[in-house]
Homo-oligomer: A and B are copies of this chain.
Amino acid sequence: MGKKLTKRGDDYSKWYNELVIKADLAENSGVRGMMVIKPYGYAIWEKMQAELDRMFKETGHENAYFPLLIPKSYFSKEASHVDGFAKECAVVTHYRLKTGEDGKEIVVDESAKLEEELIIRPTSETIIWDSYRKWIQSYRDLPLLINQWANVLRWEMRTRLFLRTAEFLWQEGHTAHETKAEAIEETRKMQGVYADFAENFMAMPVIKGTKTESERFAGALDTYTIEAMMQDGKALQAGTSHFLGQNFARAFDVKFTTKEGKQDYVWATSWGVSTRLMGALVMSHSDDQGLVLPPKLAPIQLAIVPIYKSADQLEQINERVATLTKTLRAEGVSVKYDNRTTYKPGWKFAEYELKGVPLRLAMGPRDLENNTAELARRDTLEKEILSQDVLVDRIKDLLVEIQENLFQKALDFRDGLITEVNDFDEFKAVLEKKGGFVSAHWDGTSATEEKIKSLTKATIRCIPNDAVSEEGQCILTGAKSHRRVLFAKAY
């Protein structure tokens, strides 16, 4: 494997594509737009899943599983929903293959045509709300707080590993509530959970806000988002939480008896994050040497490489390391001791650097004599020689420090890329030369938003939750505006 990466400064997009493949995270499959998530990439996704799943459960949610295939008619029940997804649906029309007339080729059996076509879920609101009708009768059945871990499929025309793939893995929460206020509270709560996860586990700062009407989920009354900033100055929508009002309850006739004995439609939310987060993770921290992973999501937190000339030396290092790894594992540190004889130390160093392992420990003959070891951190590429007596404490401290350092670095970078502008020329100049978020006044209309997008490719990423009231004029039309919104070019 050639490990040399394109530099970010030369071609960020190429750097990303190469890195995902060289670091063994994922690769394209033989099926258009569908990726294979390789073991190392999947191990990171599993760590993400474990933390998110814990957070969902701590906020009262349970997991369930609903069918992969959705009858076409379900799909049509909520008008704006089907408009939003119909153009990118994989359609199952037959349920059998057979041997063709030539006796060799396998062909679709036309006699096994479905009466009603089935759609591979692009999202599961419709099939889930069809079940909720049966599950919800009374206020005692509410709130219903359910999450699903699943694969979904949207037939994307231009795909990129993790960032935009036809099939992707995700979780989708679908909740039902007695009141509008409670549903909105849930929507906001899950936005908060996502922000907490992004910042405290991915070490990726995010801005919490709401989407404008034109950027909302198809079928939602309001979409809450967390928006992150990548190293190339483009924004990335990292998670969304939707307040669905009573739209799906009406479409699927889900009513409940209130405490007062009346009938009412239930209030709904849905929220999701996907394997797209893997792309965001890569683009938040990695450098020209390869992947950089925050310790909390690194499948291997510490790689240990022995350096030896004789079998006897290796044996001695093996012994020392055995004691060390035992202690570290008991402390919850995930350690890989790589004493394969089929690869040289230099190759291993490059491998763990490329794969973003937060800490690397090397131990050689001189270290045996001096009771020392060399510890290298991936984020700063700094090395230090330490007494073996202090290794365990130092490793534990450094894992915390690296996690914090990555967040702080990403935060400083992101904060440096939020620019306030007050006229359209400045707006265009910032987008072109500096990139990042542009904080500007907007007249609140979809028409203006669309025009700005067609002129600059920038979209309104969100109206920040903490936007302050400020009188101003729309950068494009000059019409009155009462607060700034955040624009950016985005993934």
Contact = CB atoms under 8 A, between A and B. Distances in A.
Interface in A355-385: none
B89 A96 contact: yes
Contacts of A95: 88-91, 155
Interface in A184-232: none
Contacts of A74: 30
B96 A108 contact: no
A235 interface: no
A35 B67 contact: yes
Contact of A87 (B27, B82, B96, B120): B96
B65 A31 contact: no
Interface stretch (A39-47, A283-291, A301-309, A404-412): A39-47
Contacts of A72: 97, 106
Interface in A270-322: none
A167 B69 contact: yes
A29 B132 CA distance: 11
Contacts of A105: 76
A6 to B, nearest CB: 21
A68 interface: yes
A153 B67 CA distance: 10
B127 A106 contact: no
Contacts of A134: 27
A93 B93 contact: yes
A34 interface: yes
Nearest to A90: B92
Given A35-B67, A36-B64, 19 more contacts: A29-B131, A30-B130, A31-B69, A31-B118, A31-B127, A34-B67, A34-B68, A39-B64, A42-B63, A68-B151, A69-B90, A69-B153, A87-B97, A87-B98, A88-B96, A90-B118, A91-B92, A91-B96, A96-B155
29 contacts: A27-B131, A27-B134, A29-B66, A29-B130, A30-B71, A30-B74, A31-B67, A31-B118, A34-B67, A36-B65, A37-B65, A43-B63, A68-B68, A68-B151, A75-B97, A75-B106, A76-B105, A76-B106, A82-B106, A86-B97, A86-B98, A87-B97, A88-B96, A89-B95, A90-B94, A91-B96, A93-B108, A95-B155, A140-B342
Interface of A: 27, 29-31, 34-39, 42-43, 45-46, 62-72, 74-76, 82, 86-99, 105-106, 108, 117-120, 127, 130-131, 134, 140, 146, 150-151, 153, 155, 167, 169, 342
A-B interface, 10 closest residue pairs, ranked by CB to CB distance from nearest: A39-B62, A34-B67, A37-B65, A86-B97, A91-B94, A95-B155, A93-B93, A76-B106, A39-B64, A31-B67
